[in-house]
Amino acid sequence: MFVVRDVRGVAFSSVWLILFLLAVTLSFASDSWPVKSLIRIQNPTSEMLIQIHQKGLIPASEAEIRKWIDVWADQEQIYWLQQTGWQTELIPLPEGIATAFPAWDPEFHDYNKMVAVLDSLVIDHPGLCKKESLGVSTQLGRIMWGFKISDNADSDEDEPVVMYDGTHHACEVMGLELNMRLIKELLDEYGINPQVTNWVNSTEIWFVPLVNVDGHDAVVNDISLFWRKNARDLDLDGNLYEYLCNDWWTCSTEGIDLNRNYDWYWNQGGSPDPWNYYYRGVTPFSEGETRANRDLALKVRPSLYITFHSYGEVVIYPWYGAVAPDQPLLNQVAYQISSRILTPTSPFGYSYYTDYYTQGESYLWMYGALGTLGFLIETLPYPSFIPPGTALDSIYSEIKPGMTYLLERVQGPGVTGIVTDSITGQPLVGQVEILNFDLSAVLPRTSDSTFGRYRWLLQPGSYSLNVTHPLYYPKTVQFSVSGTSYTQVHVALKPRPSEPSLVIEPGSVSDTLFADTSATYYLNIINEGLDTLNFNVAHSPVNWLNLPVTNGAVVPVDTFPLPFQVNTDSLVGGSYWDTLKMTTNDPLNPNRDVPVQITVQCLFKPMDANSSGDLTLADVLHLVNYIFNKPGFPVGYLCQGDLDSPALPANSMINLSDVIGLVNWYLKGNASFTPRPNHACCVAVN
């Protein structure tokens, strides 16, 4: 049941119109003011905008023209404005505020006509286009239609994507008309116009001509020329399109503002008041219309996007209030779009500026969530929503150069490539970062699941690309961008092993040494599963083991040789144990123990062969016999070390020089010989 009513029960529009006509005749300095007037505030600053909002002044347009802002003001608010000292003026009543929408005008499209035209285009241009159901509207269950144009429209090709949509707000009918005219021109000119043919052959071009499929009916059927929201029956009384007034877009009505329903700081944009013209809904993407638009964008991943609104003749884009990593490029593209749209009221091109980043709007979500360079174009001069049907073609001709610039820019320059598994060659959904950019204010950007393709539009310059995947080792590539085409950077990622993330080789150390020996060993710490392996190592305080390095970091697919030293200078024959205790950030096994066992060979000390406790002549003769292999010294032994200071190289054998020095010292008191009785050992060799 569709019942349209003014819930106040009064003919508000007539009263409003009379008051407004009275306002036009009054100067701003007058002491007598109408109940509500349209006031232009010149050169608003950010501080002024805050005060305007706090005072409850209602903006007359979503487009905050930076040179001025127009607001609705009652008597009390007008008096307050007078006290501020700001430059203000009363502006005339918007033309057409009480003019009926010419629903019968064949130049305009309603929902049924749009569907019929799209169906006929699919028949007339087979293979070049297709009409696709995206979902249904929340209230009336109407199908949301998407329309694709490409040289192989029935196939998903590995090509860049441009997306257009229109009429999120029902009264902003120009978006639907612009989409339909561009669709028809691209198809009609294909194969005739080389530029159009190239666009279609090299791009997948998607359209959602009518987002607000239910709310648009309120305008077409003359329920309200200024109906903004969808048709959601908020009070569930079966009556649709209820309103408190219907003579301006800021009137209180039922429904949800679809362009405040996107999940990008949703709770900080729009209004929680169901009757407010900015009502955002109970949750982000609560409406079938916005979910359909979202799902298409997630599927096709557009590089560039335009959403058409009215009015103001301005291009709005991301963003201020947070870092937009692509800001210089966004500025450049916005300028190129705006400067191409030349109209009688904007002879030097549309204005362009950034919007605050927390609004819950479609183009902000596109950029923040997907990395799509999104732009909102407020078409038509202030304060027009619905132009005469006879003017639609000329308006389209003025705006078309800005629309089609996206089809040029999407071809480059930038960087593109395919992310694959280095072993299987299969495409991967990898996280792609440009390390030159601060990406903290946006969601991660990824390659697609079908081809493993990523695309990133860039300005000429040198960049660092980093690609990551939780099951693969990351990879960083340096590249440069120049000219007008893409730089190709394909990235093959090496799989990580499932476990362990950390390998230590060897897992234990065991060796046999002579006394008075120094040796250096290495543990190879191999990182096979962590982005960066951090480690610390310690051991019990023994005097024969030393760690010159106790901590470090190992990058993926790399080995860190950790040295440790053993010195048997103070050891007697026997076995010695210690444990290297390693702590790491390996989530699978953070703590590792590496046992170390050293056996010191020393059957007897050659300078005390008879174990008397002192160096005696018998010990000296024992060594002489050993050197000359005479009877009296056991055969099958080796004596290693050094008998005097300074020491010879480690592992040196006792030789004739040692013995001569010892004999001279013992018998003659040779001062150049300093005995080292504990620094040599004799061991059995068989």
Residue ranges making up the domain that contains 79: 12-90
Co-location of 164 and 296 in the same domain: yes
Distances, alpha carbon 528 to alpha carbons 284, 339, 472, 525, 561, in Å: 41, 53, 10, 10, 15
| 99 domain-assigned | no
Q: Which one-letter amino acid corresponds to residue 640? A: Q
Co-location of 433 and 450 in the same domain: yes
Co-location of 140 and 259 in the same domain: yes
| 101 domain-assigned | no
Average predicted confidence (pLDDT) for the chain: 85
Is omega for the bond preceding 500 within 30 degrees of 0, making it cis?
yes
Q: Is the pLDDT confidence value at 120 over 60? A: yes
What is the CATH number for 478? 2.60.40.1120
Co-location of 182 and 139 in the same domain: yes
Co-location of 315 and 202 in the same domain: yes
Co-location of 299 and 314 in the same domain: yes
What is the CATH number for 68? 3.30.70
Q: Mean pLDDT: which of 75-79, 107-111, 123-127 is highest? A: 123-127
| 611 domain-assigned | yes
pLDDT, residue 31, reads: 35
Q: Is the pLDDT confidence value at 336 over 80? A: yes
Q: What is the mean pLDDT of residues 123-142?
A: 97
Whole-number Å distance between alpha carbons of 624 and 609? 12
DSSP 8-state secondary structure symbol assigned to residue 607 = G
pLDDT, residue 104, reads: 44
pLDDT, residue 677, reads: 64
- Of 409, 431, 451, the residue that ends a domain is 409
pLDDT, residue 514, reads: 74
- Inter-axis angle of helices 617-627 and 656-668, to 10 degrees? 160
Cβ atoms of 643 and 662 closer than 8 Å: yes
Q: Confidence band (pLDDT; 50, 70, 90) for 430?
A: very high
| 239 domain-assigned | yes
| 384 domain-assigned | yes
Q: What is the mean pLDDT of residues 430-449?
A: 96
Tokens, residue 154: 């029935």
Co-location of 587 and 615 in the same domain: no
Q: What is the mean pLDDT of residues 11-23?
A: 33
| 97 domain-assigned | no
| 275 domain-assigned | yes
Co-location of 159 and 297 in the same domain: yes
- Of 599, 630, 655, the residue that ends a domain is 599
Q: DSSP 3-state assignment of 335?
A: helix
Report the number of distinct structural domains present in the chain.
5
| 104 domain-assigned | no
Co-location of 272 and 312 in the same domain: yes
Cβ atoms of 122 and 71 closer than 8 Å: no
Burial of 507 (0-12, 13-18, 19+ CB in 10 A): exposed
Co-location of 286 and 167 in the same domain: yes
Whole-number Å distance between alpha carbons of 461 and 278? 41
Cite the DSSP H helix spans in 194-305: 194-202, 216-220, 288-300
Co-location of 266 and 321 in the same domain: yes
Co-location of 348 and 431 in the same domain: no
pLDDT, residue 684, reads: 66
pLDDT single digits (tens) 453-487: 999 999 999 999 999 998 888 999 999 999 999 99
Q: Is the pLDDT confidence value at 420 over 90? A: yes
Would the pTM count as exceeding 0.75?
no
- Of 584, 599, 614, the residue that ends a domain is 599
